[in-house]
Amino acid sequence: MSPRSAGPPDPSSYRSIEFTGRAPHVRTQLDVPTVMRCVVMSTLPCVAMALYNTGYQANLALAAGAVRSPGWRDLVLQVLAPGQSPTRVWDCLVQGATYFIPLLAVSLASFTLRWPELPSTLAFSSSRSTELGLSRLSHPRLRVAVRRA
């Protein structure tokens, strides 16, 4: 009979002979606003880096000879960051904010208007309009009649 090799202990030996009769519940004093505050705080470094990198790339392109189309961004940049240099952090942050803030505003507006729910709530009605070659889209805020081809 050979001696048993010394190895890691068997994991089944760590099992308890007592078990809970029902599912365990973990209770915490964190509420949803506290958790969301932590989520927002944790995204701030990512947003700051995105602002800087977007502005840096745009300022590099402008320094290489790219031509900017005139618009509202020029007005904002002339007031807040007149240099538009890729070596200055402030210029990069302001340039990046001119691209990021409009995207953020559109996404918040679409969330507020519940646009993600729109495709799921649109339905074709099977009324007399289908016999006439029309399909009617129904939504609480939208009434559109579309002529079928």
Note whether 93 and 138 are same-domain residues: no
Structure confidence at residue 116 (pLDDT): 58
Q: Is residue 120 part of a domain?
A: yes
3-state secondary structure (DSSP) of residue 84 = coil
- Model pLDDT, residue 122: 54
One-letter amino acid identity for 38? C
Q: Are residue 148 and residue 124 in the same domain, yes or no?
A: yes
pLDDT at residue number 146: 47
The whole-number pLDDT of residue 53 equals 96
Which of 140, 148, 144 is closest to 118 using CA atoms?
140
Token duo for residue 29? 């004093």
User: For position 38, what pLDDT does the model report?
Assistant: 92
Q: What is the pLDDT of residue 118?
A: 60
Domain identity same for 38 and 87: yes
**pLDDT, one tens digit for every residue, the chain (149 residues):** 555 666 676 766 676 777 777 777 777 788 888 888 999 999 999 999 999 999 999 999 999 988 887 888 888 888 888 888 899 999 999 999 999 999 988 888 877 776 656 655 554 444 444 544 444 444 444 444 444 54
Q: Is residue 69 located within the same domain as residue 129?
A: no
Radius of gyration of the chain (CA): 30
Nearest to 132 by CA among 148, 116, 119: 148
Query: Residue 50: which domain range?
Result: 30-113
Domain count, the chain: 2
CB-count exposure of residue 50 (10 Å: 0-12, 13-18, 19+): middle
Question: Are residues 90 and 144 located together in one domain of the fold?
Answer: no
